[in-house]
Amino acid sequence: MKKIIMMILVALTQSWVHAGTVDVGTQFTYQGELLDNGSPADGLYDLSISLYNSLAGGSQVDQYFIDDIEINNGLLNATLDFGDAPFDGEEVYLEISIRPGNSNDVFETLSPRQRINATPYAIQAEFVDNSNALWSNDANGIFYTDGNVAIGRTSTQHKLHVTSLKNTDDTNTAVRIDADYDGSGTSTATYGAAHKASNLGAGTIAYAIGTRSTIDNAAGGTVTYGDATLSEIDNDGTMDWINGSTVSITNNGTIGTGIGNFTAITNAPGQQMTAAYLGYSFVNNEGTITDVYGLYVDYYESGAGTVSNSYGLLIPANFNKGTVDNFAVYSASDADSYFEGYVGFGVRAPERQVHISEAMRLEPQASAPANGDLGDLYVNSVDSSLYFHDGISWKQVQLGP
């Protein structure tokens, strides 16, 4: 018999299509190139194809014969069908033996054996009984309910754990989820991702987190710009109402303290931060905006409940740690400030538009302020006198002894 050498070009090629509950069969295609004495083979050949459980030695799992398969210009294309039984999740290797067709010659075994990759194992998800399958399927899709799933790592203590470890300089994205609506009607809701943490029994969850984002920068590392959560909205059409981030808390039981948005910055002992902002907002406007609000606080219009104390902004007494300046409110803007209600300084129940407890000080001025008007007051630093504007001119206020 002439010496036969086979060089595998494509070891396994899928020849079936997964179609839900449709019987997809157990066939798959084996393709390769066959050389006979160094030249592309032509003619009929017999194939004996065996399955083994190891690359060398081991036990034979199954065997398949093909008589008088036609080879043209060295190209082999064989359809194999071992059924689903051999593919039980363990590694399986193909051993191929070949002889000229229409002969009783001894088969020549080719080496090495070829490892079967993932393609035939998709058969397993369709046919194997549930007691042996990792994944199950029904009319709604495939599912897995036992144990944990790790992607990009060898083990995990989480139901799904994805790790994307790269040492190249391009973008590294562990998981990307796109929810795209391409209809012409109305989508009730389109969620890129929906997260939910539920307490379904009578037990206690010490710390329930719907979504947690963490940035870890190892010692010696550098992060130029870090966002634990980054929301971006690109609009080239029409949006009636848009929020960069929405927090909604609904209480149908008991809540001790409800916080819509909680921000904490911790600076470790001996470390330094140039600036710490518990909240930072800016507007980049290159078009037209009717109203801009740095902070808007309101009650929902239909709320009919009762509130004992209401604070639009509360700055507690211990917000006074500055060693140079201590400002509860600091505005570097020359914009006006407007208060519709009464304002109290040192008094919690003001009875006038401005109600001041203890003394009020007017910073002395070397000369009368320009553009004075009725009701204005100022103290002159030259003669230490108080002046009042009567709508026409400044008048010195005569103080009694």
Residue 112, pLDDT score: 85
Residue 9, pLDDT score: 38
Q: Does domain 4-127 have CATH number 2.60.40?
A: yes
User: Is-contact 20 139, C-beta < 8 A?
Assistant: yes
Which among 229, 6, 204, 179 is positioned nearest to 97, based on CA atoms? 6
Q: Residue 396 pLDDT more than 90? A: yes
> pLDDT band at 2, cuts 50/70/90?
very low
In the sheet with 385-389, reading across from the earlier edge strand, the strands are 377-380, 385-389, 394-396
Which amino acid, residue 194? A
Residue 83, pLDDT score: 75
Residue 273, pLDDT score: 92
pLDDT per position as a tens digit, 182-233: 999 999 999 999 999 999 999 999 999 999 999 999 999 999 999 999 888 8
Q: Residue 311 pLDDT more than 80? A: yes
pTM of the complete model beyond 0.75: no
Q: Residue 315 pLDDT more than 80? A: yes
Q: Residue 13 pLDDT more than 60? A: no
Spatial distance between the Cα atoms of 81 and 51, rounded to a whole number of angstroms: 11
Spatial distance between the Cα atoms of 30 and 47, rounded to a whole number of angstroms: 12
Spatial distance between the Cα atoms of 11 and 92, rounded to a whole number of angstroms: 13
Q: Of 368 and 80, which is predicted with more confidence?
A: 368
Average pLDDT over residues 288-301: 90
Residue 118, pLDDT score: 47
Q: Of 227 and 114, which is predicted with more confidence?
A: 227
Residue 25, pLDDT score: 62
Choose from 65-74, 158-167, 173-182, 383-392 the range with maximum mean pLDDT: 383-392
Q: Residue 392 pLDDT more than 90? A: yes
Residue 123, pLDDT score: 46
> pLDDT band at 117, cuts 50/70/90?
low
Residue 126, pLDDT score: 45
Residue 301 is encoded by which pair of tokens?
């219009």
Helix then strand then coil, % of the chain, to nearest 5: 0, 25, 75
The beta-strand segments (E) located in 247-291 are none
Q: Residue 5 pLDDT more than 70? A: no
Which amino acid, residue 269? P
Percent of the chain whose predicted confidence (pLDDT) is above 70: 88
User: Is-contact 87 121, C-beta < 8 A?
Assistant: yes
Residue 10, pLDDT score: 40
Q: Where are the domains of the chain?
A: 4-127, 359-401
Residue 1, pLDDT score: 46
Q: Residue 12 pLDDT more than 70? A: no
Residue 125, pLDDT score: 43
Q: Residue 169 pLDDT more than 50? A: yes
Residue 131, pLDDT score: 52
Residue 123 — φ and ψ, nearest 5°? -60, -35
> pLDDT band at 114, cuts 50/70/90?
confident
Q: What's the chain's average pLDDT? A: 85
